[in-house]
A and B are shown apart, each in its own frame.
Chain A
Amino acid sequence: MRPFSYTRARTLTDASQTVSDDRAMAIAGGTNLLDLMKLQVETPSQLADINRVGFAEIEDTDDGGLSIGALATNTETAVHPRVRADYPVLSRAILAGATQQLRNKATNGGNLCQRTRCYYFTNIDQPCNKREPGSGCGAIDGIAKLHAILGTSDQCIATYPGDMAVALSALDAQVQIATSDGGSRTVPVRDFHCLPGDTPWRENVLEPGEIITAITLPAPVGGTQLYRKVRERSSYAFALVSVAAIVELEDGRFSRADLAFGGVAHKPWHDPRVADALIGKAPSPELFDRAADILLEDAQGFGENDFKIPLARRTLHAVLEQAVEEAS
């Protein structure tokens, strides 16, 4: 850990000013940041503690949706009566992540910004283009079991590790961002995270000085909502593959099939063509296979993670089968 100065921001403007300096970082729950600071993966010169700036409410929106404060904890969000009633996929996804202790501390805004678990990113004595641009990618010819199969680049094959954002992607939630000039902007969760491309260090669209204030959920979408996480142990493990699904059937045919995938890419993976392939069709294993074909059309393994390609297909089958059963 490098020495750093710590300030407690009293207002959002305070915080925004502090983090405009690209050597400064905001800290909320700190469940990810502090670990990375100890490892010197993150070396901010200043931390702005934003825990007292507000934005911790979970409240109804005018259009019947729900606004979830960036500084509400994961636990508060997962157990909130409206989240449980109207957005169960979100509640389930949050509860599938980390541990109770971590969820008690972790905030929603921080969770969106959590960094990859790539083994080479977290070891500063190994190459990583994300941590140290131009140093190379240790994972590509290394141990890549956890790594991405979609949207990778020759610079980086890391995954976004979270669960919550996968559900938010399926729900088409919006990220509310306070900008450094005192204004605000809204970015769909589906566009919030970036693919690695030639800039693997850039994981999301936040600009210097910008701070997430809330996540807004649309008016309740109904349907059968599932979150399926395949992992090596039954808790406190990152997803090999996860699927968030919101599915509805009308007259025996899919009328809604909003699906997002975790553990497969540098961002929660949402491919609108998958829903297009399903909607209006009657469920069948052949149909599920066609949807998987589309999803995995460009999938590429790196040896150790080749299994994720069939696993994603099979998990999609499992989720759709369960959703159809529960919806019928």
Chain B
Amino acid sequence: MTVHFKQDKPDESNRLDDMRQGVIGKALPRVEGLAKVTGTATYAAEYSIDNCAEGVLVTSTITRGEVTSIDRDAALAMPGVIAVIDDPRLTTRAAQGTADEAPQQKPKTVCYWGQPIALVVAETFEQARDATKHLAIEYRVEEGAPLDPNTVEPEEQEDETVHQGDLAHAMSEATHSVDVTYTTRGHASAAMEPHAAIAQWDGDKLTVYASLQMLNYNISELADALDMEEGDIRLVSRFVGGGFGSKLGISEEAVAASIAAKELGRPVRVVMSRQQVFQCIMRRSETTQRLRLCTDANGTLTGFGHEALVSNLPGEEFAEPVLQSSHFLYGGENRELMLKVARIHRMTAGSVRAPGEAVGMPALEAAMDVLAEEVGIDPVELRLKNIPEKNPEEGLPFSSHKLAECLRQGAEAFGWDRGPRKPRQTREGEWWVGTGMASAARVHNVSEAKARVTLKPDGTALVETDMTDIGTGTYTILSQIAGEMLGLSPDRVLVDLGDTRHPRGPGSGGSWGAASIGSAVYVACQAIREELASRLDVEEAELDLSDGKAGSGESIVDLLDGKDLAREGYYEPGDIADDYTASGFGAFFAQVRVNRFTGEARVDRMLGAFGFGRVLNHKTARSQCLGGITWSIGVALTEALEFDPRDGHLVNPDLAEYHVPVHRDVPDLDVIMVEERDPAASPIQAKGIGELGMCGGAAAIANAIYNASGARVFDFPMTPDRVLAAMPD
């Protein structure tokens, strides 16, 4: 029985707070943690399947053109080599998040260097990998593929454009103004687990074990790519070793494994190499961003301009949504926002860790620091002064808004000095030491979601959905939500995820997982409660469940009469999304040191204060924040994809040369979670958490670099060469 709940209005009842089990929000350890650290959690490539052949993708060595022939004789003559597959259904890019249809196919048409064009299958992985180097591939090269976003005429993304009032006039009339341009480099998701899939056919039925974030979409993407019915496909992703956007859409290895397994009549595993993951999946676009901000004498914004240039391959709809939070974070009646996308032949640009705000917020918040100095006002004060009462463009109210609390609580906990700020005031040996801060913002997303909850006669509960846990804590929070609602200790709730035979969840991405699927579980549990209440002949509101018993003393098991009690919860966001602007907010504070000789910048300590609605598990929520702040350090200081200027290939496609922060780059981090219930965000009053921690943090570091050393750097990441170039003598 499916119970449908569509949220059309705010829910102030905060039902989870009325329950008696007392586990919601508790810092429970991850239920799958032991399995992961002992190696018993089975990741996609690790399923033991008889007679499985091994496939390795073949990638192009040209940037643009056609594959005219593949001479496979030499490769096929090699020991163990079974097949060279260049089926036209092979996909050449990963699907964009929520695409719901096959990505680009036609593998013979090459659009970027390193694009998959074929698959070699052999008895062993090593044989297949070696054989990929023994194919004689002929190309017809199309010279002159544009590679530099600054050399092509970009396309305007018109739905992002805002012209409100007259910014140019406001800038010229304003007491204070800044007009600054920032650049950010490309980023990779850099998940630990590489993309991998095993495909197995049983007649016309296909099962694929894969590392994916959004099975609900991935199944239709795969079905479309293979021209199949969804009902004939089963996808399994029980454990995902990090996604960060890179596994939102079906990617090349899963489609290739499926085609090969069908053709060869045996299971096929395809695992991408680290280099292929970097080169064939998604990059975050580099950006160029112009910020124009102007205020009256007191520092109140009168104008707000944010224009961004990003890039992608021809034919891709995704454009890094740089301006997402700029639309509503600060006031200013004269507004100009514009996003442009340049069509170039680097690999596909798509969702990478907090698409949009991860790079838009650092630029905006660095510009706010320049503005604070111009106005002569404390940077915290400048932000507080410019928090709008409602969305300054659409006029919508905010569902809930904790930016001011985050700024105040964060400043207090960090020990922010509100005195006059001048750079180069503190030196410790070779190091200039300074502080900086920034706001955080990330739009809140939710999606429709389904989950089935079954109360079992043995006194346990089972939660089933195809939702994934990409390392964020989904297994654990769902056991807490069901446990809280049904009066069960979470260790009596079994959560079964990552299998498309279950009701469809929203998948993990855009930080929407917990609020969406958590609401579906909540809706199912609410329906079970109603059934239990009717069996007890009481009102549901009076039902008082804890530790397997109702308040009146009856055991829940006795009410079941030896039978399962199952309900499917179907949560739908509803019209409320049109009535409110919903966002997570926060504030970052950082202390940074800059070496006066070498320009190296290192973070001494950093604090993030966040408001993201109800916290479902303090431990997993805090871990999300810590991870987000760590990515902020990467954006600020270390991470940059480097592309060859002549053929656009990624020159640093591994974890030695693409620099994610290492332990030593990540100092003492502090997280404050501001108490909040967002009645319009979801029926469980929760908002997204995962990405907020990296939405602006890089600017706190950039601003601290300036405060420490006097180097005002306008290019992220702020590597020693760039800091030195900007450092006063």
Q: Interface of A with B (CB < 8 Å)?
A: 1-3, 38-40, 117, 119-120, 123-126, 138, 141-143, 145, 230-237, 240-241, 307, 310-311, 314-315, 317-318, 322
Q: How far is the CA of A117 from the CA of B430 in the complex (A)?
A: 30
Question: Do the beta carbons of B664 and A234 come within 8 Å of each other?
Answer: yes
Q: Which residue of A lies closest to B62 (CB)?
A: A125
**Cβ–Cβ < 8 Å partners of A314 in chain B:** 597-599, 724
- Among A117, A235, A311, the residue within 8 A (CB) of B721 is A311
- Among A3, A39, A318, the residue within 8 A (CB) of B430 is A318
Question: Do the beta carbons of A318 and B595 come within 8 Å of each other?
Answer: yes
- Among A3, A117, A120, A141, the residue within 8 A (CB) of B657 is A117
Question: Do the beta carbons of B662 and A240 come within 8 Å of each other?
Answer: no
Question: Do the beta carbons of A318 and B664 come within 8 Å of each other?
Answer: no
- Residue B494 interfacial (CB < 8 Å): no
Question: Do the beta carbons of B657 and A233 come within 8 Å of each other?
Answer: no
* CB proximity of B609 to chain A, nearest CB, Å: 26
Question: Do the beta carbons of B652 and A234 come within 8 Å of each other?
Answer: no
**Cβ–Cβ < 8 Å partners of A234 in chain B:** 600, 602, 662, 664-665
* CB proximity of A5 to chain B, nearest CB, Å: 14
Question: Do the beta carbons of B129 and A142 come within 8 Å of each other?
Answer: no
The 5 closest A-B pairs by CB, nearest first: A318-B597, A307-B721, A119-B651, A234-B664, A235-B664
Question: Do the beta carbons of B598 and A311 come within 8 Å of each other?
Answer: yes
Q: Which residue of A lies closest to B597 (CB)?
A: A318
Which of B98-106, B198-206, B642-650 forms contacts with chain A? B642-650
Question: Do the beta carbons of B659 and A237 come within 8 Å of each other?
Answer: yes
- Among A141, A232, A307, the residue within 8 A (CB) of B659 is A232
* CB proximity of A244 to chain B, nearest CB, Å: 15
Q: A1-B126, A3-B130, A40-B133 are in contact. Are A142 and B651 (CB under 8 A)?
A: yes
Question: Do the beta carbons of B656 and A311 come within 8 Å of each other?
Answer: no
**Cβ–Cβ < 8 Å partners of B651 in chain A:** 119-120, 123, 142-143
Question: Do the beta carbons of B657 and A119 come within 8 Å of each other?
Answer: yes
A-B contacts, 26 listed (Cβ < 8 Å): A1-B130, A3-B79, A39-B275, A40-B130, A119-B642, A119-B651, A123-B649, A126-B649, A142-B645, A230-B600, A230-B720, A231-B600, A232-B659, A233-B637, A233-B659, A233-B664, A233-B665, A234-B600, A236-B662, A240-B720, A240-B721, A241-B598, A307-B720, A307-B725, A315-B598, A317-B597
Question: Do the beta carbons of B719 and A318 come within 8 Å of each other?
Answer: no
- Interface 1/0 per residue, B572-613 and A, CB below 8 Å: 000000000000000000000001011110100000000000
Q: Which residue of A lies closest to B430 (CB)?
A: A318
Q: Which residue of B lies closest to A325 (CB)?
A: B429
- Residue B638 interfacial (CB < 8 Å): yes
Q: A40-B133, A126-B649, A307-B721 are in contact. Are A143 and B662 (CB under 8 A)?
A: no
Q: How far is the CA of A123 from the CA of B79 in the complex (A)?
A: 25
Question: Do the beta carbons of B720 and A145 come within 8 Å of each other?
Answer: no
* CB proximity of B621 to chain A, nearest CB, Å: 27
**Cβ–Cβ < 8 Å partners of B275 in chain A:** 39
Q: How far is the CA of A240 from the CA of B598 in the complex (A)?
A: 10
Question: Do the beta carbons of B598 and A233 come within 8 Å of each other?
Answer: no
**Cβ–Cβ < 8 Å partners of A235 in chain B:** 662-665
**Cβ–Cβ < 8 Å partners of B637 in chain A:** 232-233
- Interface 1/0 per residue, B261-279 and A, CB below 8 Å: 0000000000001010000
Q: How far is the CA of A232 from the CA of B642 in the complex (A)?
A: 14
* CB proximity of A44 to chain B, nearest CB, Å: 14
Q: Which residue of A lies closest to B273 (CB)?
A: A38
Q: A237-B659, A310-B724 are in contact. Are A145 and B642 (CB under 8 A)?
A: yes
- Residue B555 interfacial (CB < 8 Å): no
- Residue B61 interfacial (CB < 8 Å): yes
- Residue B661 interfacial (CB < 8 Å): yes
Question: Do the beta carbons of A236 and B598 come within 8 Å of each other?
Answer: no
**Cβ–Cβ < 8 Å partners of B61 in chain A:** 125
Residue among A2, A142, A317 with the most chain B CB within 10 A? Answer: A142
